[in-house]
Amino acid sequence: MYTNTINLWEGREDVTLTSYCMEKNDEIIGCDRRPAVIILPGGGYAGFTEREGEAVALRFMAAGYQSFVLHYSVCEKAAFPGALYDLAQAMCFLHQNAERLYINEKRIVVCGFSAGGNLAASLGVMWNQEFMKEKFQVPAEWLKPAAMVLGYAVTNFGFENHSVLNQEQAEMMINCNRYITGKEQPEKEDYEKINLLRFVSSDTPPAFLFHLCADPVVPVDNSLQFASRLAAFDVPFVLEIGEDTWHGVSSLKAEDANLGFFKEEYAGWFDRAISWLKKKLFVENA
């Protein structure tokens, strides 16, 4: 295993891609071209929670993936499409360096949580938009993920949240809305411009979605309606809804969580997502 961090843009040290990768092993057939995953931690576009970063990367790596954690633009620099350009730039980097990184460029997955899930889904539904083509000037398929894994992702910032938030949660959501729209007081039309439900199409890659039904920060409607839009365009998906009130469960297992809120069933989605990805990447996309 080796790990390395690079800056994705010249002159910027805040947007980085950290690799958690395996070397080529001549004793393992096919390891010269492994699937890859770009992991996008959440944090309300204000920062990052590392339990959705390195911990997830190590689990994916153990499942045979070359894993990468993207620290994308946050705070004022996150305003759409700033962070989306960061993710697209990461996709281009993996394609450009696929041979050196032992990556099968046709099997690059994006996995995001909360705000990071919003970013992952944004690429999934906008990879073929004209503004993306004009910005990157690369083959369009370079920007399209093979699949998406979306954990309690924000897909529509316009959903009304009926949960009772504590002060910290309420301030986080206010700041998140302000950062992604680039406006101090976003209005309905600002949210509609970045409503991912509008951009779902038959070109959207398959998705594995999971959420808790009483998530107090990101309403479960985000996943329910996104799944409904996928179904409307015959895009394959899996939707898992757990029964609880937590936000930010990541891929934690009992042995690495050590947190009072942890419940064993929280971690089950990850193994099921890996099984689903095997089907999508190696059976249907052989």
- 168-181: average pLDDT: 81
- pLDDT for the residue 250: 62
What's the rounded Cα separation, in Å, for the pair 88 and 13? Answer: 17
- pLDDT for the residue 77: 95
What's the rounded Cα separation, in Å, for the pair 266 and 261? Answer: 10
Q: Is the pLDDT of residue 101 over 60?
A: yes
- 119-129: average pLDDT: 98
The two three-digit tokens of residue 113, written as one number: 């949580």
Q: Greater confidence, 199 or 248? A: 199
The two three-digit tokens of residue 116, written as one number: 């990071």
Query: Which among 23-37, 153-167, 188-202, 244-258 has the top mean pLDDT?
Result: 188-202
What is the bridge-based pairing of β-strands 34-40 and 103-113? parallel
- pLDDT for the residue 157: 82
pLDDT digits (tens, 9 = 90+) for 248-262: 676 555 555 455 555
Q: Is the pLDDT of residue 99 over 90?
A: yes
Query: Which among 44-58, 109-123, 267-281 has the top mean pLDDT?
Result: 109-123
> What separation in angstroms does the CA of 126 have from each of 45, 63, 101, 134, 218?
19, 28, 26, 13, 21
Of all residues in the chain, what percent carry a pLDDT higher than 90?
63
Amino acid at 188: K
pLDDT digits (tens, 9 = 90+) for 37-66: 999 999 889 999 888 889 899 999 999 999
Cβ atoms of 166 and 114 closer than 8 Å:
no
- pLDDT for the residue 186: 87
Q: Is the pLDDT of residue 30 over 90?
A: no
- 219-247: average pLDDT: 90
Give the SS3 label for residue 78: helix
- What is the number of residues in the chain? 286
- pLDDT for the residue 32: 77
- 229-244: average pLDDT: 92
Beta-carbon neighbour count of residue 16 at 10 Å?
A: 17
For residue 211, report the phi and psi dihedrals to the nearest 5 degrees. -160, 160
What's the rounded Cα separation, in Å, for the pair 201 and 229? Answer: 8
What's the rounded Cα separation, in Å, for the pair 110 and 218? Answer: 20
Of all residues in the chain, what percent carry a pLDDT higher than 70?
86
Signed CA dihedral, 242, 248, 251, 254: sign only: negative
What's the rounded Cα separation, in Å, for the pair 211 and 189? Answer: 26
- pLDDT for the residue 161: 60
